Structure 1
Amino acid sequence: MAMFAMFQRSRLGKFIIFLVFLVIVLQVFHMSLLTRLEAKEALNRHKGPVDRQLNVKTLPEISDDMEEKVRNSHRLDYSGTYHLIANLLTAEGHGSGQNTDDLAIATQCSSNHLHHLSHLSQVWDGPISVTVFTFDNDIETALNHIVKLYSCREQIRKKTSFHLVYPLERAPRSLSVSWKSVNSCEEGMPVSGEKAPNYAIEGIEYPQNLLRNLAIKNSETSMVFMVDIDMIPSENLHGDFLYLWRTALKARANETKGTAFVVPVFEVKEGVKVPDTKPELVGALERAEVRPFYIDPCSPCQAFSKYPKWLSLTPSKELQVAYHVNWKYSWEPFYIAAKGMPLYDERFKQYGFNRISQVCELHVSGYQFVVLNNAFLAHSGFKRREEFHASKNKELTKNKILFGKFKDELKVKYPNSTRTCL
């Protein structure tokens, strides 16, 4: 018995020694972890505000990658006129496949309109694919604005992929190191500039359809929502549409494959807050603070969305397919569709017929148009015909002739279609 007791005390002693040793090891590990965390915090305190926000690459690394792509990319458009750089800078998670069954905004702009991304990315919860148009004297400004938005705005970095286009005849001559200077997120951020439209950039033809196609092709999503960069979607439009799609429409994919889901567009008086919901929009409309988009320059361009009918529908929190609309000449709605729809004809540049030609082809190819209730787009500021650039009418006449040729080509492309664009 005495020997058994001694054996038990020996085992207990060894166990106690093991526990003491384990406590010491854990304390050492804990102190080491604290030291590392303190060192990391100290390092972050000495980094700039931009560096602290970037989890994967530093700002200089991102800038170097962008510059390498600009210098070494050699892809041209089909006409051989423009240089294309897809995925100049990509959203976090790009290429992971996580966005496949998703809806992205596809848009385009010049460098002086990039500031609109800040508001758009706050309202839109999904991916954004944006093509930026630039040229020789502007490219450093464009790159600087892109990297600042990406670095300093988390919602842009997480959602937005940037693509770049410039004309070969106005290719960038050189890049200085000055465009990489991002010392503060509060200094030098892109801000609202002059009201001059994209079509008035130093006599360069603005290829909006080429820009749109590049944004669509590189969206990494199965569906796209092609909007102008200065348009703001209604509250939670991304999530509401995906819920509608996954619960009611996806099971009928064969029926909805050739469907364009139209989102009515309004314009908001200067200085008035953009409405978030349909009830807010209706109230602003009654106060004459909101009106249908483009009603002054071209009332038929959006009128066939049937604004009175849409406004008469009872608002609700859920997105709903409200009614069908037959396409009519001059109607150019903004819509959501699967990415396999006919792309934009890249021959249309500058002002006129660039969007209507694509919607016309949707119609001829057999697409149906359905309007969504409770969803809308809002443009900040009223569009007025007297504010257009000086060469508008000349461009409109030129593109109208091209549109006539385009319609004849559709008859050959869709020989069995009974639909026309008259």
Structure 2
Amino acid sequence: LLLWPLRSSEVSWIPNKHYSGIYGLMKLTLTKALPSDLTKVIVLDTDITFATDIAELWAIFRKFTDKQVIGLVENQSDWYLGNLWKNHKPWPALGRGFNTGVILLYLERLRRIGWEQMWRLTAERELMSMLSTSLADQDIFNVFIKQNPVLVHQLPCFWNVQLSDHTRSEQCYTEVSDLKVIHWNSPKKLRVKNKHVEFFRNLYLTFLEYDGNLLRRELFGCPSHATSESVQLQGALEELDEDDQCYDFRRERITVHRVHLYFLQYEYTPTGDDTDVTLVAQLSMDRLQMLEAICKHWEGPISLALYMSDAEAQQFLRYAQASEVLKNRKNVGYHIVYKEGQFYPVNLVRNVALRNANTPYVFLADVDFLPMYGLYDYLRKSVVQLDMANTKKALVVPAFETLRYRLSFPKSKAELLSMLDMGTLYTFRYHVWTKGHAPTNYAKWRTATTPYKVEWEVDFEPYVVVKRDCPEYDQRFVGFGWNKVSHIMELDAQEYDLMVLPNAFMIHMPHAPSFDISKFRSSPGYRYCLQTLKEEFHQDLSRKYGAAALKYLTAQRNI
């Protein structure tokens, strides 16, 4: 898919009846699409499951003769034998032909023999009689090999065990004990009618439940080439003092996480007026139940980063596929950050969601809040009203909370104020952390009809709308404590004006305490390290912004 914009024109002239459409022909362009200094490559279909180390497959390149340029497994169906039905006429192939779900391409040699011209001439000649391809690139590879059999290196069957409805792959997996690669070879994947599919389904589902971190060891047979990033990481690790009481916190800051961007299908069409706003949030498995409600309250684009294990990511996939609400929302980008380490890297996860927002403005929220109905449109109008394009502003959305699991959500500010007076709602964290949102000045907000400016105060952590290129969150803060506070401080240090919106609100829904807040409350060591990180953040802020940042340290000491 990444090659599509550059190379589609090179194969779009080929009529193709296969369900993959033009994408199924893109493998033919790899000698030109990939870097010219890349000598070899393994090409895999997306319906492949590996049951071994891919380094073993790479090692087969060493078995190529001097003339061989392509490594393939023989086709395990009767397709190219032409006996599946009456008048079945497949493209020419050598014997049973070859399956292109797993290909070893010796790019350097292919370029040398003029692959680009060869496959084109071959395809043009055959299309005069065949009119279109039935199996996309596979037909063209096979007719090329039939004419040039010396160029192919035949791989053992266990490197591409094909499980389509009309397959003879059982000859391979009944005779071979060590199957390397399973190829579902059908758009139906797990629903193919092969009589042995249960065995492979179980193998596949087991694979999905693996902890991907187990696979992050150095692959055998692959020499370790130190990249600048790995050298930098190793240097940072060596600088840490293992006797430091806060070693685990510091280690977490430089931990590299696996990230899967756009885990589900994502579609976004930009608005033409440059006022669009993406709701940005992060969550873990225990907040999954909030997603449907948020989608009902916010119709605009959403960027969500989900902190999960491999197994939890598969559970989330099943949850999303079963939800009518989530299935119908294509403008939600889901980005998986895979679990690693002992702390929740909350600001790292937030940054993943922030970096992958596609709009000029972002609403930096938390997933356990429900925006008021109509907030998306209101924020877009506020962006224009407050000239956000030409000024540095952070628009504050006042936060409230309910202690009730079932709430008749207010449809207006007037209704919210009534519920506030009746005690159905409270200003956010009024009971336990007043100063986190007190500077919003809720008393003024009650009667305000126009946006008003508020000043930064110690521990202020409002939810704000800012330009997408705002400062990122400081990743030293993990787990519970000061993760949003530090971000608002940096916005203030960069002279953002904090403007409270008079007709906007969001409501926090009740949930069980997180594991990290429990650790904060119960562990003196945790609280000590958080205080240490806060002091170091203040020092870094002073170095970055000079004397202007001293007010933060002074304010903290005067508490």
Bin of the TM-score, shorter chain as denominator length: 0.5 to 0.7
Aligned twin of 1:8: none
1:135 to 294, 297, 309: 309
Question: In the superposition, relative to structure 1, how do residues 367 and 206 fare at CA in structure 2: closer, same or farther (>3 Å)?
Answer: same
What whole-Å deviation, never above 9, does each CA across 1:20-72 have from its counterpart, x for those lacking one?
xxxxxxxxxxxxxxxxxxxxxxxxxxxxxxxxxxxxxx9979xx9xx8xx989
What whole-Å deviation, never above 9, does each CA across 1:90-133 have from its counterpart, x for those lacking one?
4223xx54586410000010122122110101111200110111
2:257 to 82, 85, 90: 82
Rounded Cα–Cα distance in structure 1 between residues aligned with 2:460 and 2:380: 26
What whole-Å deviation, never above 9, does each CA across 1:176-209 have from its counterpart, x for those lacking one?
xxxxxxxxxxxxxxxxxxxxxxxxxxxx311111
1:373 to 502, 522, 536: 502
Query: SS state of the match for residue 444, structure 2?
Result: helix
| Offset of residue 292 of structure 1 | 0.6
Match status 1:348 vs 2:477: yes
> In 1, are the aligned partners of 2:281 and 2:303 still within 8 Å (CA)?
yes
What whole-Å deviation, never above 9, does each CA across 1:250-294 have from its counterpart, x for those lacking one?
4x632x2x2110011000231332223101101101110000111
Which one has more relative contact order, counting CA pairs under 8 Å at least 6 apart? 1
Query: SS state of the match for residue 304, structure 1?
Result: helix
Q: Percent identity?
A: 27
Aligned twin of 1:49: none
Aligned twin of 1:261: 395
> In 1, are the aligned partners of 2:321 and 2:327 still within 8 Å (CA)?
no
1:278 to 408, 413, 417: 413
**After alignment, is 232-241 or 153-162 more displaced?**
153-162
Match status 1:400 vs 2:531: yes
2:344 to 201, 206, 209: 206
Q: Aligned runs of 1:329-340 on 2, under 5 Å?
A: 329-340=458-469
Aligned twin of 1:92: 267
> In 1, are the aligned partners of 2:320 and 2:326 still within 8 Å (CA)?
no
> In 2, are the aligned partners of 1:85 and 1:163 still within 8 Å (CA)?
yes
Rounded Cα–Cα distance in structure 2 between residues aligned with 1:121 and 1:137: 24
Query: SS state of the match for residue 352, structure 2?
Result: helix
Aligned twin of 1:300: 435
Q: Aligned runs of 1:13-412 on 2, under 5 Å?
A: 79-93=254-268, 97-98=270-271, 101-149=275-323, 152-153=324-325, 157-168=329-340, 204-246=342-384, 248-250=385-387, 253-254=389-390, 256=391, 258-270=392-404, 271-313=406-448, 320-321=450-451, 323-381=452-510, 389-392=518-521, 394=523, 395-412=526-543
> In 2, are the aligned partners of 1:234 and 1:377 still within 8 Å (CA)?
yes
Query: SS state of the match for residue 417, structure 1?
Result: helix
**TM-score normalised by the chain length of structure 2:** 0.51
Rounded Cα–Cα distance in structure 2 between residues aligned with 1:165 and 1:382: 22
Rounded Cα–Cα distance in structure 1 between residues aligned with 2:488 and 2:299: 26
| Offset of residue 416 of structure 1 | 5.8
Q: After the TM superposition, which parts of structure 1 deviate over 6 Å for at least 4 consecutive aligned residues?
A: 58-61, 70-78, 382-385
Question: In the superposition, relative to structure 1, how do residues 147 and 207 fare at CA in structure 2: closer, same or farther (>3 Å)?
Answer: farther
Rounded Cα–Cα distance in structure 2 between residues aligned with 1:373 and 1:392: 35
Question: In the superposition, relative to structure 1, how do residues 155 and 239 fare at CA in structure 2: closer, same or farther (>3 Å)?
Answer: farther
> In 2, are the aligned partners of 1:207 and 1:346 still within 8 Å (CA)?
yes
Query: SS state of the match for residue 389, structure 1?
Result: helix
What whole-Å deviation, never above 9, does each CA across 1:224-243 have from its counterpart, x for those lacking one?
11111121111211111212
**After alignment, is 370-379 or 133-142 more displaced?**
133-142
> In 1, are the aligned partners of 2:542 and 2:550 still within 8 Å (CA)?
no
What whole-Å deviation, never above 9, does each CA across 1:327-379 have from its counterpart, x for those lacking one?
01011111100011111011111111111011111111211101000100101
Question: In the superposition, relative to structure 1, how do residues 165 and 368 fare at CA in structure 2: closer, same or farther (>3 Å)?
Answer: same
Question: In the superposition, relative to structure 1, how do residues 402 and 390 fare at CA in structure 2: closer, same or farther (>3 Å)?
Answer: closer
Question: In the superposition, relative to structure 1, how do residues 380 and 80 fare at CA in structure 2: closer, same or farther (>3 Å)?
Answer: closer
Unpaired runs of 5+ in structure 2? 1-186, 191-203, 217-228, 234-252
Rounded Cα–Cα distance in structure 2 between residues aligned with 1:59 and 1:224: 39
Rounded Cα–Cα distance in structure 2 between residues aligned with 1:217 and 1:396: 30
**After alignment, is 75-84 or 299-308 more displaced?**
75-84
Query: SS state of the match for residue 420, structure 1?
Result: helix
Aligned twin of 2:151: none
> In 1, are the aligned partners of 2:541 and 2:549 still within 8 Å (CA)?
no
Residue-pair matches, total = 310
Aligned twin of 1:201: none
Unpaired runs of 5+ in structure 1? 1-57, 170-203, 315-319
Q: Which structure has the greater CA radius of gyration? A: 2
**After alignment, is 331-340 or 390-399 more displaced?**
390-399
Rounded Cα–Cα distance in structure 1 between residues aligned with 2:277 and 2:368: 19
Rounded Cα–Cα distance in structure 1 between residues aligned with 2:475 and 2:361: 21
